[in-house]
Amino acid sequence: MLVEKLQNLSDAFGVAGFEDEVRGVISDMVSPYVDSYEMDPLGNLICSRDTGETVMLDAHMDEVGFMIRWIEEDGFLRLTPLGEWDERILLGHRITILTRDREKCLGLIGIAPPHILEPEEKKKVVSLANMFVDVGAKTRKEAEEMGIHLGDPATIHYPFQVMREGYVTGKAFDDRAGCLVAIEALRILSEEQLPYRLVVNFAVCEESGLRGAKAAAYRIAPKLALALEGTIGADIPGVPEAKQPVRLTKGPAITLADRSIIVRPRLVRFLEEVARQEGIPYQYKLPAYGGTDAGTIHQERGGILTGVVSVPCRYIHSPISMLILSDLEETIRLTVAFLRRAGELL
């Protein structure tokens, strides 16, 4: 069941600023477990239950992607990034373009064959500005007749798969893994009475500047918040251990500091204590890589006590990511245990 839920989330289209499809998937999943949910003007999905002082969970719906920035006269497309991509790995991949009519068109990030390149050209990294997308159109008019316009979003999409028992691959685990942690926490706690108001924000536009969470945190006005992420698993050949932000199979990662927040030691110690008492394995995300919605949440409303717990995922911000289900399951356990005791911090 957990695998099926992650597959539905991963395969949903949700480029930053265009999260409608994934928001629909999440709405269907959470509706039995909350008292109310609504979409704010930016597109955040805000789900609430119980009353009292507010504890906020945040997980962002959006994924890194692209926007069509130009259509050439000969029908080829040009892209601009929505989020941070490594340009070294983009060439030759298939992309999915979402049109205004909600249709999906396939394209290919084209590349000149090596047979016609000079030796020095083969060594160069091609910038995104010089890449093109081939959608099989011979003219600009033909591309437009396919429903493609300037401003349409696109992403590289390889379908979710179980690679082997316990290991899964798919796109957008940053942060569909975090979304699933939040959804499962709501499900598990749905029959329990919490001593506070729990609000879960499924945020838009994290990959384009933490924008959704900023507006949501101001609106929700929590006393305590926890951001849930899929983060940088780098336990791979060629990366020394001291530069591996997190490692797979080691359980959820507790953030100490990243480029957007220094987590208050009080909250770090609390998460450590909860994990130890519940027998949950955990690790630290090495400082100070990356950033999350916690970076903007903790600065709202005069300051909000905010932490980050993440699911280790290899190859985020690439066409396909990998995670281990045991890490996902342990992150759910830690989040649920934290919520059961979160009243102690209010």
Beta carbons of 135 and 142 less than 8 angstroms apart: no
User: Is 206 a catalytic site residue?
Assistant: yes
Q: Which among 184, 206, 229, 329 is annotated as catalytic?
A: 206
Q: Torsions phi, psi of 197, nearest 5? A: -85, 125
Q: What is d(CA 320, CA 99) in angstroms, rounded to the nearest whole number? A: 23
Q: Cα torsion for 167, 168, 169, 175, to the nearest 10°?
A: -110
Which one, of 329, 328, 327, 284, lies nearest residue 307 by Cα? 284
Locus of tokens 């390889």: 158
Which one, of 334, 292, 254, lies nearest residue 58 by Cα? 292
Q: Torsions phi, psi of 23, nearest 5? A: -65, -40
Burial (CB < 10 A; 0-12, 13-18, 19+), residue 238, is: exposed
Alpha helices in the chain (DSSP H): 2-11, 20-30, 119-122, 140-145, 173-188, 211-220, 265-278, 294-297, 325-341
Q: What is d(CA 6, CA 102) in angstroms, rounded to the nearest whole number? A: 22
Active-site residue list:
206
